[in-house]
Amino acid sequence: MKKKMSNLPFKKFKRQLNERRYSGPERGDEYKKLSPTMKGAIDDIYTTLDNTPDPLVNKIEGIIETAAKKHGVKSNDIENYFDNELIK
């Protein structure tokens, strides 16, 4: 059974995707704390988002899962990164 993403900050991130395109992570404190592997996954997500036609909201979960598998990280860890970036 696939886990449904329902935490509020991640929903806020998905909503913001419709409002504007991201050029990449802010490279703030949360980004700097990431391992090189996680940074690669996050960078891949932003690259994919920039190259994906609208609407992005329906595709974000698949983009995160693809990046997680490619970089050998958990999709939940990526979601937590976005949560932490949005909470600050």
Q: What is the pLDDT of residue 21?
A: 53
pLDDT at 39 over 50: yes
87 sits in which H/E element? helix 75-87
pLDDT above 70 covers a percentage of the chain that reads 66
Q: What is the pLDDT of residue 70?
A: 95
pLDDT at 57 over 80: no
| Mean pLDDT for the stretch of residues 7-35 | 68
Confidence of residue 4 (pLDDT cuts 50, 70, 90): very low
Residue (of 73, 86, 76) closest to 25 by Cα position: 86
Q: Which two tokens stand for residue 33?
A: 């704390």
Q: What is the pLDDT of residue 8?
A: 59
Non-local (6+) Cβ contacts of 13 within 8 A are 60, 82, 83, 86
Q: Which residue has the higher pLDDT, 57 or 50?
A: 50
- Taken in order 76, 59, 39, 7, is the CA torsion positive or negative? negative
